[in-house]
């Protein structure tokens, strides 16, 4: 029987429950029969995979690889994923570099099929790292079965942790937030922005998001926002606003329309 993650009805109480129990519940997900079968198969076979075609020709390997990066929705897009995996990341015009969602670049960089050094699949710790990411994503997916907002919150914690330590400019990090649909939803919710903000020019979106962060946290630096106290504030605002009655939605939409009309 598939283990069902307990989310306590969602909202702030559900978030508190996950903070107390997520480590143990993740262990239970990892020991689930189907999950163990998938990770064991990946660990056993991946070192012998040296090309994108070899990975994509094995459905079970491809499933673990893509889900480890939250890209399982692209399972049916083999041609697209092949181009991503074979991207030359030293070429700014390569597909993985041109996409606003930098998760695709991370996928290409991790597997290394398009790099001069070649596939990284047989390097020490590779299988362990990918299967751990896969279990993380599977845990989040099962959290989402109970409450999608809690899944978004868990995703935000993981994504922000990575962004905080990345060697990029602050604007580049914010552009990654804007291009990451799931992470963006958490910031939009916490800031009280509607999806209509996505219709603004991208530089104006950057300005609005950084300005809102400055007001909420006293800083727009991602490393500071990822700190436990600030992250908790972000998530709590997101969860509380998500629980507000839909009757308030027209007011948030009107704010975005005002910005658009004033341009």
Q: How far apart are CA 11 and CA 17, in angstroms?
A: 10
Cβ density class 239-258: b for 16+ within 10 Å, e for less:
bebbeeeeeeeeebeeebee
Confidence (pLDDT) at 255: 53
Architecture of the domain defined by 11-130: Orthogonal Bundle (1.10)
pLDDT for the residue 100: 86
In this predicted structure, what is the pLDDT of residue 247? 41
pLDDT of amino acid 119: 96
Alpha carbon 184 to chain centroid, angstroms: 10
- Given this model, what pLDDT does residue 1 score? 66
Q: Locate the domains of the chain by residue range.
A: 11-130, 171-261
Q: Based on the number of CB atoms within 10 Å of its own CB, is 201 exposed (0-12), middle (13-18) or buried (19 or more)? A: exposed
pLDDT of residue 246: 39
Other CB atoms within 10 A of residue 69 CB = 18
pLDDT, residue 263, reads 45
**How confident is the chain (263 residues) per 10-residue block, as mean pLDDT?**
88 95 96 96 98 98 97 96 97 93 95 94 98 97 95 96 91 94 96 91 97 97 97 96 63 53 50
Opening angle at CA 229, ends 157 and 253, nearest 5 = 65
pLDDT for 256: 52
DSSP codes joined into one string, 108-129? HHHH-TTSTT---TTSTTHHHH
């Amino acid at each position: 029987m598939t283990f069902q993650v307990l989310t306590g009805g969602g909202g702030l109480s559900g978030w508190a429950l996950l903070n107390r129990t997520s480590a143990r519940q993740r262990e239970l997900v990892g020991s689930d029969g189907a999950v163990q079968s998938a990770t064991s198969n990946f660990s056993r076979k991946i070192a012998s995979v040296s090309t994108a075609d070899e990975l994509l020709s094995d459905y079970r390997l491809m499933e673990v690889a893509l889900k480890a990066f939250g890209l399982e929705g692209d399972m049916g897009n083999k041609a697209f994923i092949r181009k991503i995996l074979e991207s030359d990341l030293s070429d700014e015009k390569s597909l993985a570099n041109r996409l606003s969602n930098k998760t695709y670049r991370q996928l290409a960089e991790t597997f290394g099929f398009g790099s001069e050094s070649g596939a990284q699949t047989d390097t020490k710790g590779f299988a362990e790292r990918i299967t751990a990411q896969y279990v993380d994503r599977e845990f989040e997916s099962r959290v989402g079965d109970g409450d999608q907002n809690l899944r978004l919150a868990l995703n935000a914690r993981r994504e922000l942790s990575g962004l905080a330590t990345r060697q990029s400019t602050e604007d580049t990090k914010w552009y990654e937030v804007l291009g990451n649909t799931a992470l963006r939803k958490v910031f939009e919710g916490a800031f009280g922005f509607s999806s209509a903000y996505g219709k603004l020019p991208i530089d104006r979106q950057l300005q609005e998001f950084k300005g809102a962060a400055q007001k909420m946290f006293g800083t727009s630096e991602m490393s500071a926002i990822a700190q436990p106290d600030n992250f908790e504030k972000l998530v709590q605002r997101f969860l509380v606003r998500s629980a507000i009655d839909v009757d308030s939605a027209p007011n948030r939409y009107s704010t975005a329309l005002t910005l658009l009309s004033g341009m």
